[in-house]
Amino acid sequence: MKKLAFKGILPRLWFAAVALAVAAPSRADDPPSRPNVLFIAVDDLNDWAGFLGGHPQARTPNLDRLAARGVHFTRAYCSAPACNPSRTSLMTGLQPSTTGVYHNNQPWRPVLPDAVTLPQHFSAAGYDVAGGGKLFHNSFNDRDSWPEWFGLKGSDHPKPEQTPVNGIPGAAHFDWGPLDVPDEAMGDSKTVSWAIDWLQADREAPFFLAVGLIRPHLPWYTPRAYFDHYPVDEIILPETLANDLDDLPPAGIAMARPDGDHRKVVAAGQWEKAVQGYLASIEFADAQIGRLLDALDASGHRDDTIIVFWGDHGWHLGQKQHWRKFALWEEATRVPLIVVAPGLTEADGRSDRTVSLLDLYPTLIDLCRLPGRPELEGESLAPLLRDPGAPRDRPALTTHGRGNHAVRSERWRYIRYADGSEELYDHQADPREWTNLAADPRWQSVKDELSSHLPSTDAPDAPPAR
């Protein structure tokens, strides 16, 4: 595959631009001219958070208080419903259809050797940059992006003595169950403890601190106390429709895989226990985020630190007879997104505009007054941070595999698969996406408009890992 190179700004001119941006004067009533950034990522979290109302039993008091501090987005979407392509897109500012990184088994750096990642851009601007936990995807972490790095070992992830706990044959990490260990034994707790220590150190330069939590990614093993908050006989299952797949094209049914995880979960009588495990893992992650927010406030940096909280993609728990991510429907593509920008955002801000994780790179460039990068394909969210109701007419694009795309506007979701088959959902009348309207000629103009936002080209697949 031909390598993509990004040489839009010559290095010497770029660093000169950084110096000018840093030296630019600011007005007394402006936000901090060189604010810090606390960049918090979680893995596999859908809209089951209190501030998004995705599940009535979800306990996320710390995410809710974070949302109340700034602006949260009710229609935020990932670029890809899988860890590696989603994180690659966010960190490089490029769509999967531009890079060819569509799946978890495709190393991204070999096809983007000259890409300047978000943390690298901050490093070049004179920021103290550090990262820990899961930020890029597992073995494809880009160590060149992190002047300081905190990683975890396999022993930092405790598990039950006998697995799988759920009794599903061949489940591997598709498992859930309580652990008789304290919070401190968990990898995410260790990552947050490292970040807390990092925040306490004195430093002269502004910082960009990225903290990536693994939960609620599988396996859903968390300390028993979190499971105890959700008695199995009280679990509320997601709303589903028995014949939900009847109006899907074969490509959609293939993504749903109804004879895969869903059939196994139902046959094993594990649906309620799976939801219990997911809720417990969300609450555990929320507790760690609470520790981190408390440490930021105690550090004295509350008023000069931008906080960005994001999830890399959504998650299905039986909707459309599908589990995990790896699909183009609402549950797999909608993500939690919160931005707190001192001096800019006001408390309790809610934006219902459609946005993408791809927008975070240009947003942080704007907020921190860094030089722009012309190759970035997102659009800054700064206008929505100033005014959450400001106009924005830009749908979100999500890609899963070459040629498979979803376009999400405020009202509609349009899916076109690589074979040309389609789905169309009207969220105004059908928020669960139970009725595919793609074959109804009344909505042809809607499909035409939404399809105009599909990529003009789809890059060839990046080579998989050897």
**pLDDT over 60 (residue 201):** yes
Is 137 assigned a catalytic role? Answer: yes
**pLDDT over 90 (residue 92):** yes
DSSP class of residue 165? Answer: T
**pLDDT over 80 (residue 164):** yes
Tell me what pLDDT residue 139 has: 87
Is 368 assigned a catalytic role? Answer: no
Name residue 128's beta-bridge partners. 207
pTM over 0.85: yes
pLDDT tens per residue across span 108-136: 999 999 999 999 999 999 999 999 999 99
Tell me what pLDDT residue 7 has: 33
Task: Kindly state the tokens that stand for 377.
Answer: 């394909």
**pLDDT over 60 (residue 68):** yes
Q: What is the DSSP string of 284-345?
A: HHHHHHHHHHHHHHHTT-GGGEEEEEEES---EESGGG-EES-S-SHHHHEE-EEEE-TTT-
Instruction: Return the higher-pLDDT residue of 427 and 172.
Output: 427
| Calpha distance 353→355 (Å, rounded) | 6
pLDDT tens per residue across span 289-338: 999 999 999 999 999 999 999 999 999 999 999 999 999 999 999 999 99
**pLDDT over 50 (residue 232):** yes
Task: Kindly state the tokens that stand for 296.
Answer: 């930021």
* Nearest Cα residue to 354 out of 416, 406, 429: 406
Tell me what pLDDT residue 114 has: 97
Set 72, 103, 121, 137: catalytic member: 137
- The stretch 380-387 carries a mean pLDDT of 98
Tell me what pLDDT residue 30 has: 58
Angle between helices 83-92 and 360-368 (to 10 degrees): 30
Angle at 380 between CA 375 and CA 385, to 5 degrees: 170
Tell me what pLDDT residue 287 has: 98
Residue type, 462: A
pLDDT tens per residue across span 29-42: 457 779 999 999 99
Looking at CATH, the fold of the domain delimited by 33-451 is given as Alkaline Phosphatase, subunit A (3.40.720)
Angle between helices 187-200 and 271-298 (to 10 degrees): 10
Set 78, 83, 313, 368: catalytic member: 83
Strands 305-311 and 71-77: unpaired
Q: What percent of the chain has pLDDT above 90?
A: 91
What is the rounded average pLDDT for all residues in the chain? 93
